[in-house]
Amino acid sequence: MSGLKTMKWDDTAWSALKDAITPMPPLVRKKALLKIIQASEENARDRTSQVVEGEDLVKAAKEKVPEGVQKICLQSLAEHGIFDES
């Protein structure tokens, strides 16, 4: 398991996050990555789940990351079929 994670993540959600994050410049990405992982895990705990799911990630992306990064994250989540903009 990645040391950045402190909980188990759903594979699709984790892949979506990786796909969203890795094309970004590292300087932009580091803070956003740490913030979004932490917030997603908090969201999972809030719903008493032991696994971080797509919905936790979507909520974290919407609420906790800067606007520029948010757009890229949500687009990647949509591409993985775990977010619907409509």
Partner 1 sequence: MTSREKVKEGVSPPSLVSFGITRECDLDCPHCYSDSGEKDPRELTTEEAKRVISDIADLGTKIIIMDGGEPTLRKDLLELIRHSGVSGLVPVIGSHGGPLTKELVKDLKSAGCKGVAISLDGAVAKTHDEWRGMEGAWKGAIEGARNCAEVGLEFQIAPLLHRNNFEELSGIIDCAKELGAGAVEIFDYVPAGRGKGHFEHELDTEQRKRLIDEVIKRQRADDLVYRVIALPQYWVVVEKEVPEDEILMKFTRSCCAAGTRYITILPNGDVVPCMVLQIIVGNVHQDSLKTIWHESPVLRDLRNRELLKGKCGICKYKSVCAGARCKAYEKTGDMLAEDPTCWFTEDEIRTGD
By CB under 8 A, name the one of 16, 33, 52, 60 that touches partner 1. 33
| Contact flag: residue 53 with partner 1 (CB under 8 A) | no
- Residue length, the chain? 86
Find the part of the chain contacting partner 1 (CB under 8 A) among 27-35, 40-48, 50-58, 59-67: 27-35
Query: Is position 11 an interface residue for partner 1 (rule: CB under 8 A)?
Result: no
Find the shortest distance in angstroms from Cβ 16 to partner 1: 11
| Position 29 contacts partner 1 (CB under 8 A) | yes
The contacts found for 70-79 with CB under 8 angstroms, 24 or more apart, are: 72/20, 72/23, 72/24, 73/17, 73/20, 73/21, 73/32, 73/36, 75/20, 76/16, 76/17, 76/19, 76/20, 77/16, 77/20, 79/16, 79/19
Name the site residues for partner 1 (rule: CB under 8 A): 2-4, 18-19, 21-27, 29-30, 33, 68, 71-72, 75, 78-79, 81, 83-86
